[in-house]
Structure 1
Amino acid sequence: MLLAAGLIVAAYLAGSVPFSFLVARARGVDLRTVGSGNIGGANVWRSVGFGPFVVAAVLDMLKGMLPTLAARWLLPGQFVVIVLAGVAAVLGHTFPIFLRFKGGKAVATSGGVLLAIAPLLVPIGIAAWAVAFLITRISSVGSLTAAAVVIVAGTLFYLAGALPLPYAAFVWFSALFVVYLHRENIQRLRAGTENRFSRLR
């Protein structure tokens, strides 16, 4: 129990490291004051450029993947603890202790956890995001589409016996959480005022 608790706390602290914020800050940009004001990868892309976005996205994925893999290695077969470590990393990203609990929308970090527990879902989600984004040039549409596709694919994997129930529960939680965190984007989409990428750079 002590090891499990330590892993969960460590996962939260790892998730709290605001890599997107730090990558942008290294370029002299405070994400809180530009673009959408969100501490996330899409705002890095919009405000700093594609290269820094890739760096931030990879780091945000790693902070979800590595604590989850550590839990799998140290506590093999303890699916609930493994999932709780993943959830802690996602919550750390969304409510980071290092930025007064104001973080990003958990897309990349959730994807990192999925890489550790259900890696086949990640290329499916990335493909869904890319298609939706390239059609609309709206990042939130890509994220919402990816969440919808992943929750369907994860459910099919679970029903086929390819995914343990705790892992499937994480898929459902993370996808619905991503949708919840995009509630303001959904309102702007309905109003036709959501930010659109005018160019890719």
Structure 2
Amino acid sequence: MPPSFLVLAILALVALAYVLGSIPFAVVVSRIMGLSDPRSYGSKNPGATNVLRTGNRTAAALTLLGDAAKGWAAVWLASLAVRHWGLPGYAVGLAGVAVFLGHVYPLFLKFKGGKGVATALGVLLGFQPWLAAATVATWLIVAFATRYSSLAAIVAAIFAPLYYLFGGNIAWRFEGAICLAVVVISVLLCYRHQANIARLLAGKEDRIGKNKGSAEKGHPGPRRRSGGRKH
């Protein structure tokens, strides 16, 4: 493959991954299901955890699946490009970082996106399923022990690069580009949780299961249609 075409192919793949990551499933699912825009209540974060504040678990689950699926899909497409189009292996790592950035700084939401936990999970699943399983297990243990979703995400993000580093050449083949991508995603995820970290240190962070449904300020329930006839 000519060098100029190779560069264009990598740039196209990265751009595609970023656009894919920019799809705001929290907003899309909420609109389809007649719920309020997740950017209008709670943490104003377009993610599954904030959608759960509506009390609609189906909407939250669909948001989680959508955000994770786009992370996995970007890595899967990059892997296909490496195997069949001759792209270098580091293109997979670039695609993983690009789709994560798309979720965190989405093109379609004026670059104000979610914190990226579900999308990061999807990327890790694409990189190495066992890595994703270990990271999810860490999240579950911390979340169950502390009831803090944000703390669980931060701890899981810190451990993910360590899992990949120590699991390399034992449970899977170590690749420097993938390891670097995991580190970048983990650092960005922790950075996106800086407000949560401040609240955790101040003892003001909400625990899992608190402030859901109509009790939440702003009432994140179904949207009301105006202008209709009274019967």
User: TM-score normalized by structure 1?
Assistant: 0.92
Aligned to 2:10: 4
Aligned to 2:79: 72
Partners of 2:155 and 2:42 in 1: how far apart? 22
Q: Percent identity?
A: 33
Aligned to 2:133: 123
Deviations for 1:101-132, whole angstroms, at most 9, x for unmatched residues? 00011111111111111211111111111121
Stretches of structure 1 that go unaligned for 5 or more consecutive residues are: none
* Other structure's SS at 2:66 match: helix
Name the amino acid aligned to 1:42: T
**Contact residue 118 and residue 163 of structure 1 kept, 8 A:** no
Instruction: Using the TM superposition, give the Cα deviation of residue 195 of structure 1 relative to its aligned residue in structure 2, in angstroms.
Output: 1.8
Instruction: Using the TM superposition, give the Cα deviation of residue 64 of structure 1 relative to its aligned residue in structure 2, in angstroms.
Output: 0.9
Is 1:190 the equivalent of 2:197? no
Q: Is 34-43 or 93-102 further displaced after alignment?
A: 34-43
Name the amino acid aligned to 2:22: S
Partners of 1:52 and 1:137 in 2: how far apart? 21
Aligned to 1:14: 20
Stretches of structure 2 that go unaligned for 5 or more consecutive residues are: 1-6, 214-231
1:34-183 matches, within 5 Å, as: 34-76=41-83, 78-158=88-168, 160=170, 162-183=173-194
Name the amino acid aligned to 1:151: P
Deviations for 1:150-198, whole angstroms, at most 9, x for unmatched residues? 1221121237573211111111111121111101100010011112233
Partners of 1:52 and 1:196 in 2: how far apart? 20
* Other structure's SS at 1:58 match: helix
Aligned to 2:35: 28
Give the CA RMSD over aligned residues.
1.9
User: TM-score normalized by structure 2?
Assistant: 0.81
Larger radius of gyration: 2
